[in-house]
Amino acid sequence: MASRVAVGGTRSGTTEQLRRANLSRVLELLHQHGPTPRSELTRVVGISRSTMAGIVADLEELGLAAETEPASTTRAGRPSGLVSPADDVVAISVNPEVDAVHIGLVGFGGNVIKHARIETPDTRLPSVVGLAAATIRGMLADDPPRYRVLGIGLAIPGQVRISDGVVRQATHLGWTEEPITDLFAAATGLRAWAANAATLAMRAESQFGAGRGLRDLVYLIGGASGIGGGVILDGRLLTGSGGYAGEFGHTVVRPGGVACHCGGWGCLEAEVDQATLLEAVGLTAAEAGLLADRLTTSEDPAVAALVEEKSALLGIAVRNALNILNPEAVVLSGFLSALHRASARDLTEASVASSRENVEVRDAALGVEQLMIGAAELVFGELLRDPAGFLPAS
């Protein structure tokens, strides 16, 4: 109903912002829905045919879209050209883990073109940067160059200050106050952006996964190191005043309960953790992928009781989130998804009736490519915000 018009740069030219905003709008549609007939773009955006002609021409000139011959038609009337996002424009995704680095090449629409997992025991930052830079060079070593690279998106398991791309703390990797985007930029000559991995996982699910098409979404992800999450409201990522919103891991689910490393007691993260569940079914940390299956098939009554107890606690956190945020869906990922699938409990029960209407609890839909897509979204998001302003600088 209402569209948003983002201001391009600091540049003046308010009439110019119109074109920038329209370029952004159209490219966003292509990114989200893939190849689309020009006539449909015209309808959806609600501008005149002549204007849309100019916009598509601009996008073609920028090399961001291509108009191909009309697809097979079904109705009468002159067929409309199919506008597709450029297939040679890519973002590079990097996700450092404790024992490996994931590196990917992702195009428009969350299309993962390449995905490599490079094992390494060395998590020191210079080493990781070097390894990643070499891998990236390898991926792009076509002659003539096959891809136009927009930049690098980094999914970091830790706190990241978005404004300048500095890793404040990534405990598992032993990084503190590292200007990681600058390091990657220097090593590769590409622009780089970084954000928290859980946030990016949500972003991926929201755009192309379980949250596709939803405007209001709560995301909860459970991993070895705790519980993270994020919130999308009215189609936009909730950041909070300091950028630290979405800490569902520290929702109180049992006042006076287990002490949490945050200094509180009874936090969701302290009360419901992956290690306890793994132990109950005899799995190691590396086998976390099998958790859902084991929890479901186990015939041990102790396991059933544990699932029941933990999912009740998760239910309290979900309930609070529903009452406060009234989203369309709650998406569970990681071991929380396993817990949810193993339990018969309706996690929305006992929420205020009006907030339960039409709420759905879903499991994450994107598999191992979740983070590659999320990290790439970080880069594509920059492009989509102002397509004409993004490119000339690269």
Partner DNA sequence: GCCTTTTGTTCGCGTAGGGAACAAAAGGGC
Partner DNA sequence: GCCCTTTTGTTCCCTACGCGAACAAAAGGC
Query: Where on the chain is the footprint of DNA (CB under 7 A)?
Result: 12-16, 18-19, 21-22, 37-39, 42, 46-55, 70, 73, 75-81
199 binds, options DNA, a second copy, none, Cβ within 5 to 8 A by partner type: none
The answer to whether residues 277 and 291 touch, using CB atoms and an 8 Å cutoff, is: yes
Instruction: Using the rule CB under 8 A, give the single segment among 43-51, 54-62, 96-104, 190-198 that binds a second copy.
Output: 43-51
User: How many angstroms separate the CA atoms of 318 and 245, rounded?
Assistant: 16
73/358 with CB nearer DNA: 73
Q: If binding is defined by CB under 8 A, does position 46 make contact with a second copy?
A: yes
Which residue, among 95, 152, 150, has the nearest Cα to 118 in the 3D structure? 95
Which residue, among 111, 6, 83, has the nearest Cα to 383 in the 3D structure? 6
Residue that has been written with the tokens 């598992």 in this structure: 172
Structure tokens at 342: 């193993």
Q: If binding is defined by CB under 8 A, does position 321 make contact with a second copy?
A: yes
Instruction: Tell me the closest approach of the beta carbon of residue 54 to DNA, in angstroms.
Output: 6
Instruction: Tell me the closest approach of the beta carbon of residue 170 to a second copy, in angstroms.
Output: 14
User: How many angstroms separate the CA atoms of 211 and 375, rounded?
Assistant: 17
Q: If binding is defined by CB under 8 A, does position 262 make contact with a second copy?
A: yes
Instruction: Tell me the closest approach of the beta carbon of residue 381 to DNA, in angstroms.
Output: 21
Q: If binding is defined by CB under 8 A, does position 177 make contact with a second copy?
A: no
Q: If binding is defined by CB under 8 A, does position 250 make contact with a second copy?
A: yes
Instruction: Using the rule CB under 8 A, give the single segment among 170-178, 248-256, 287-295, 363-371 that binds a second copy.
Output: 248-256
241 binds, options DNA, a second copy, none, Cβ within 5 to 8 A by partner type: a second copy
Contacts of 200 (CB under 8 A, 6+ apart): 153, 155, 371, 374, 375, 377, 378
Instruction: Tell me the closest approach of the beta carbon of residue 380 to DNA, in angstroms.
Output: 21
Helical spans, DSSP H, in 256-369: 268-271, 274-280, 291-297, 301-325, 335-342, 353-356
Q: How many CB atoms lie under 10 A from the CB of residue 197?
A: 25
CA-angle at 223, arms to 222 and 224, nearest 5°: 140
Q: If binding is defined by CB under 8 A, does position 236 make contact with a second copy?
A: yes
Q: Which of 68, 73, 276, 358 binds a second copy (CB under 8 A)?
A: 358
User: How many angstroms separate the CA atoms of 333 and 220, rounded?
Assistant: 6
344 binds, options DNA, a second copy, none, Cβ within 5 to 8 A by partner type: none
Contacts of 351 (CB under 8 A, 6+ apart): 318, 319, 322, 323, 359
205/369 with CB nearer a second copy: 205
User: How many angstroms separate the CA atoms of 349 and 315, rounded?
Assistant: 8
Q: Which of 29, 47, 66, 304 binds a second copy (CB under 8 A)?
A: 47
Contacts of 65 (CB under 8 A, 6+ apart): 26, 27, 30, 56, 59, 83, 84, 85, 86
38 binds, options a second copy, DNA, none, Cβ within 5 to 8 A by partner type: DNA
> What track of x and - describes contact with a second copy for positions 194 through 223 (by CB under 8 A)?
---------------------xx-------
Burial of 121 (0-12, 13-18, 19+ CB in 10 A): exposed
Instruction: Tell me the closest approach of the beta carbon of residue 189 to DNA, in angstroms.
Output: 30
Q: Which of 39, 120, 239, 296 binds a second copy (CB under 8 A)?
A: 239
Longest dimension (CA), the chain: 70
| Residue ranges in contact with a second copy by CB under 8 A | 1-7, 12, 14-15, 17-18, 21-22, 46-48, 51, 159, 215-216, 231, 233-234, 236, 238-248, 250-255, 262-265, 316, 319-321, 323-328, 350-355, 357-358
